A and B are shown apart, each in its own frame.
Chain A
Amino acid sequence: MSNTAELFAERSSVREDLFAGKRPKRVLVFPNFSLEAACGLADVSLLDSHYDPALAEKTYEKVCDTFYSDTFPMTNLRYPPVYQILGTKNWVLASNGAVQHPEIETMYEEDYDEFIKNPYDMIVEKFLPRVCRALDTDPINRGIVFAKALRSYSEQVTTYFATMGRISARYGYSTGLITSPMTEAPFDFLADQLRGFKAILMDCRRIPDKVEAAAEAVYPLMLKLAIPTQPYPGMQGFIPLHLAPYMNPAQFERLWWPTYEKLVVEMDNNNIGTTFFAENDWTRYLDYLTRLPKSAVAWVEDGDMQKYTDTFGKDHVFGGFFDPTITLSKSKEECIDVVKEMCDICMKSGHFFFTFNKSVMDIASIDIVKLQAVLEWVRDKAYY
């Protein structure tokens, strides 16, 4: 058996045990880098990379050669050529070429009633032309623009996943934490893509009944996004969680949680697990998260790791917490002490994997040598 095949078999065994609820022999290592960081590391122009998917192979390989990982260590969810064709206002390039999501208001307060009655038609007919400048035209040109965007999206996605597949085969990576489409918590979709962060939080105070009805109305669309047209074994979708830590407990319980829980449960009923990214600190909501089906996996940005271990981690897979930017100011030994302490706490659950508290977005925000040492320490020492 080749070295790559052995690596793949060993990593897959760790990953399969983890996801099957068994204690694996060691902690799965899953670092995560964005395209921006990968380009910085590979000395490839980020703008060139956005528009020339062929550059991805060289860029991704540089990350794989530099940092140890058990799974493909990069995520690329954003495709600027598509945004350019559509003229999006919700995805824009900052001065450094990084794709970012600005605060937008696509749906106005007076749109609530119509949206609650028919969310899909409102999104297609009213909101998309508002948020995509190029779709704000006559129906014929709108169709042409949409077709061009879809074609571009298909090409980008195909190239990205093909590259990811080739590299994973070369490096013997196991399957990752996300294997099926991304969706959003219904409330977060309302906030992030329709009403905006500020407006939705004002709505929660002023018109909570409408917010509650709107989250219910959009729930079926969020579920549909999550279910692949051709189901396959081992589906694990992705849900980045956003607004809840900014809400008060009463708002969360009434407006945020119910449709999210329903979504995760229904995905589980369709044999789709969820890997959710708990942005910010969700410690105060651990009682809720612990109620989710066991197929729900937490990627945690911040919080009380002891409480995660004692509650959510009893029956669920979780990882995160480690801030890679500490490598800029701490010594290598201190960085390893941090990760060792984390493993000492979280490995007691038997359901812990190692990842960063969020993707590395800028290679200048980490010390490469120290981060290499951290990843290799977890690989070599974090055995059960």
Chain B
Amino acid sequence: MIDTAILKQKLGDLDEDGVIQALDEFIAGNPSPEETQLVVEACQQGMEIVGDNFENGTYFVGDLMYAAQILTSSLETLKPLMSAGAGQASKGTLILGTVAGDIHDIGKNIFKALSEAAGFKVVDIGIDQPAAAFIEAAKANDADLIGLSGVLTLSIASMKETIEALQAAGLRDKIKVLIGGNAVSQEASDFIGADYWTKNAAAAVKKGLEYVS
């Protein structure tokens, strides 16, 4: 059996080759679904180290994206070894998208990867999405959180429209709305009426966990 503490640290250290080698050796031992689940959790815990290093300024966005790539590949590798229905219970459901008029998706995708690693079920509705698409997805998936992403300043108006539409649909009180991206600021958040704003994807994941706990 693999040493999960070492695997966790290898992912935290962004040691891609080390993670691949450890997983190859693990798979060669014909592990059970239960053992595989422990390894999946170790990888996810490795992402927590990455998130902490990002927050304390040791890692940067490129490092975060690299970590997310290692994690995604690892989970793909482990997927066939897990039993159907196995896995941790979802921490909550997050509807995520880039708002109308903005087609940027890099920040959204980083937040998505970190949120999935933290145990959220993420429904990614894509880029340039109108308010109605967020509402439809929130209703269909019984959402706990909505993440609105935007890089351009024109997304401020779209975010405000989306939150107003949530209000009109009677969903606003049930769902926390997090906004993120280069366009947002405290002042923009005050205008938009979000629950939380950030340019830091790792911080947004922590806030999301707080909201659903």
Interface residues in chain A, defined as those with a beta carbon under 8 Å from any beta carbon in chain B = 36, 92, 94-96, 98, 100, 102-103, 197-198, 201-202, 204-206, 245-248, 251, 280, 323, 325-326, 328-330, 358, 360-362, 364-365
Q: Which of A92, A103, A202, A325 contacts B187 (CB 8 A)?
A: A325
What mask results when residues 54 to 66 of chain B are scored 1 for a CB within 8 Å of chain A, else 0? 0000011111011
Q: Which are the 3 A-B pairs with shortest beta-carbon distances? A: A362-B154, A201-B62, A246-B61
Q: A202-B66, A251-B62 are in contact. Are A96 and B154 (CB under 8 A)?
A: yes
17 contacts between A and B (CB under 8 A): A92-B103, A94-B101, A94-B128, A95-B101, A98-B152, A100-B102, A100-B103, A198-B106, A202-B65, A205-B66, A246-B61, A248-B60, A328-B191, A329-B187, A330-B187, A362-B157, A364-B156
Q: Which residue of B lies closest to A325 (CB)?
A: B188
Q: Is the CB of A358 within 8 A of B153?
A: yes
- Asked whether, in the complex, the Cβ of A325 is within 8 Å of the Cβ of B153, the reply is yes
Q: List B contacts of A326 (CB < 8 A).
A: 185, 187
CB-contact partner of A325 in B69, B106, B128, B156, under 8 A: B156
Bitwise interface map of B from 16 to 47 toward A, beta carbon under 8 Å scored 1, else 0: 10000000000000000000000000000000
A329 to B130, CA, bound (A): 23
With A and B bound together, what is the CA distance between A94 and B69 in angstroms? 28
Contact check: which of A94, A247, A328 meets B103 at CB < 8 Å? A94
A95-B101, A102-B103, A329-B191 known; A365-B60 Cβ under 8 A: no
Question: Are A94 and B61 closer than 8 Å at their CB atoms?
Answer: no
A-chain residues with CB within 8 Å of residue B61 when the two chains form the complex: 201, 245-246
Whole-angstrom CA separation of A205 from B191 in the bound complex: 40
**What A residues does B102 contact at CB under 8 A?**
94, 100
The answer to whether B153 and A365 have CB atoms under 8 Å apart is yes
Contacts of B154 in A (CB 8 A): 36, 96, 98, 361-362, 364-365
| Structural contact, A323 and B187, CB atoms closer than 8 A | yes
Q: Is the CB of A247 within 8 A of B128?
A: no
| Cβ-based interface call for B207 (8 A) | no
Does B7 lie at the interface of the complex (its beta carbon under 8 Å from any beta carbon of A)? no
Chain B interface, number of residues (Cβ within 8 angstroms): 32
If A95-B128, A204-B62, A205-B66 touch, does A103 touch B105 (CB 8 Å cutoff)?
Answer: yes
Q: A246-B61, A365-B156 in contact; A100/B104 too (CB < 8 A)?
A: yes
Contact residues in B for A204 (Cβ distance below 8 Å):
62
Q: Which residues of B contact A202 (CB under 8 A)?
A: 65-66, 69
Decide: B188 and A197 in contact? CB cutoff 8 A. Answer: no
Report how far A247 CA is from B69 CA in the complex, Å: 16
Q: Is the CB of B14 within 8 A of A96?
A: no
- A176 to B62 alpha-carbon distance, docked (Å): 35
* B195 within 8 Å of A (CB atoms): no
Chain B residues positioned under 8 Å from A36 (CB to CB): 154
Report yes or no: A205 in contact with B153, Cβ–Cβ below 8 A.
no
Residue B83 at the A interface, CB < 8 A?
A: no
Measured CA separation A265–B7 after assembly (Å): 46
Asked whether A96 lies within 8 Å of B69 as measured between CB atoms, the reply is: no
> Can you name 13 extra interface pairs (CB under 8 A) apart from A36-B154, A95-B128, A361-B153?
A94-B101, A95-B100, A96-B100, A103-B104, A103-B105, A246-B62, A248-B60, A251-B62, A326-B185, A328-B187, A330-B187, A358-B153, A364-B156
| CB pair B153 A360 closer than 8 Å | yes
- Report the minimal beta-carbon distance from A98 to chain B, rounded to whole angstroms: 6
- Complex CA gap A181/B60 in Å reads 32
Q: Please, which residues of chain B bring their CB within 8 A of the CB of A245?
A: 60-61
- Give B156-179 interface residues, CB cut-off 8 Å to A: 156-157
Assembly CA distance A365 to B101 (angstroms): 13
Pair B191/A201 contact, Cβ less than 8 Å:
no
Closest beta carbon of chain B to A112's beta carbon, Å:
18
Residues of B within 8 Å of A362, CB to CB, are 101, 152-154, 156-157
Chain B residue nearest to A205 in the complex (CB): B66
